[in-house]
Amino acid sequence: MIVTVYRLLCLAGIVVSVYGKLVALYKKQDSSYRAACDFGSAFSCSTALTSEYANGFGIIGPLLGHDHFLNISNSVYGIFFYAALFVIGGARSQLMRKLNVLLGAVSCAMSVYLAYILYAILHDFCLVCVTIYVVNILLFILAIVQLRRLTAKDPRHTR
């Protein structure tokens, strides 16, 4: 049951990431484009998804150059991230479950960083972004539950 919910959340993360990428593409092609998640000037996903922080998490561009191959859309990172989690999310090995917890912790830390940028720097509320933050938190919680259940079932996995 937990693996199913975990994988459904991964699929939700992929879908929301694809939508975020499409919003950014459409907005860059047509500045008058209004996304379904744009409700006003302070409640606009297209503002966040086309900001300088929407590529390379706002970190890679200034460090390595805006033309660097790693300075891609955060949404593209999300698509690959959630696809990877989908694949390893059902693993029964302790190593994979620990990796899931680690990746969940990193994604939550990045969510806090991006939420700060969204609120304090961009002064915006992005429904797509907040949905991703919630998905990350729930995946992290489920990864912890999966790891604890594995160690509870088999004492050999307590190391």
pLDDT tens-digit readout, 90-125:
888 899 999 999 999 999 999 999 999 999 999 999
| β pairing state of 38-40 and 43-44 | antiparallel
| CA–CA gap between residue 114 and residue 99 (Å, rounded) | 22
Task: Confirm if 46 and 118 have CB atoms less than 8 A apart.
Answer: no
* The token pair that represents 50 in the structure block: 């086309």
Angle between helices 127-153 and 94-116 (to 10 degrees): 150
No. of helices (H) and no. of strands (E), the chain: 6, 2
Please enumerate in sequence order all residues whose Cβ is within 8 A of that of 52, keeping only pairs 6 or more positions apart, or say none.
58, 61
Full set of structural domains in the chain with CATH: 2-152 (1.20.1440.130)
Residue-wise pLDDT for 27-75, tens only, equals: 999 999 999 999 988 899 999 999 999 999 999 999 999 999 999 999 9
DSSP summary character for residue 4: H
* The token pair that represents 143 in the structure block: 């990864």
Say if residue 96 is exposed, middle or buried (CB neighbours under 10 Å; 0-12, 13-18, 19+). middle
pTM: 0.91
